[in-house]
Amino acid sequence: MDTAYISAIAALSGSIIGGFTSLAASWVSQNAQARTQMQLESKTRRQELYKAFIEEASKLYGEALVTDNEEDNADVSKFAGLYVILSRMRILSSQAVVENARNVINAIAKEYFEPNRTLREMYGKSHELDEELDIMRHFTEACREDLKKRSSI
């Protein structure tokens, strides 16, 4: 065999191997970037969902604290937005987040049928927020764990 052929085959083989290596490295890099982008988008979606739930639930809870509905005339349609958000959470969030969101909704519904409270009653003698009134604490802790756990995957 002629040495020119051997040199040509070696050069061609080197080019092919280099091209495949470059292609593989590029594919791995693009795949990692796409996965990272999807995780960031998922986290952002869940953060927006949690934010919307907290805002809507806080508004309803504040209204429930000052509304005296001892009869069965509470407006159920006010809860529709919370149930829409809860349904979206069932798709995107962990079971702990969903359970705590349901507990928040139940606490708000229960508060609608409680007598009105004054600011003094809410804060008590120690000037600390009563555990019963801090209905979002467990929900927000579950959200934080969900976001932390899923972002480290």
Q: Looking at this protein, which amino acid is placed at residue 152?
A: S
What residues have CB less than 8 Å from 47, skipping those under 6 apart? 147
| pLDDT tens, position by position, 18-69 | 889 998 899 999 999 998 898 889 899 999 999 999 999 999 988 888 877 6
The C-alpha atoms of residue 114 and residue 66 are separated, in whole angstroms, by 10
| Residue appearing with tokens 């604490």 | 137
Are 46 and 147 contacting, i.e. CB atoms less than 8 angstroms apart? yes
pLDDT at 51: 95
C-alpha 86: how far from chain center: 11
| pLDDT tens, position by position, 100-112 | 999 999 999 888 8
Q: Where are the domains of the chain?
A: 40-151
Average pLDDT over residues 74-99: 89
Q: Report CA Rg, the chain.
A: 28
Q: Whole-prediction pTM value?
A: 0.73
Per residue, the 3-state secondary structure of 112-131, as one string, reads: HCCCCCCHHHHHCCCCCCCC
The C-alpha atoms of residue 32 and residue 90 are separated, in whole angstroms, by 27
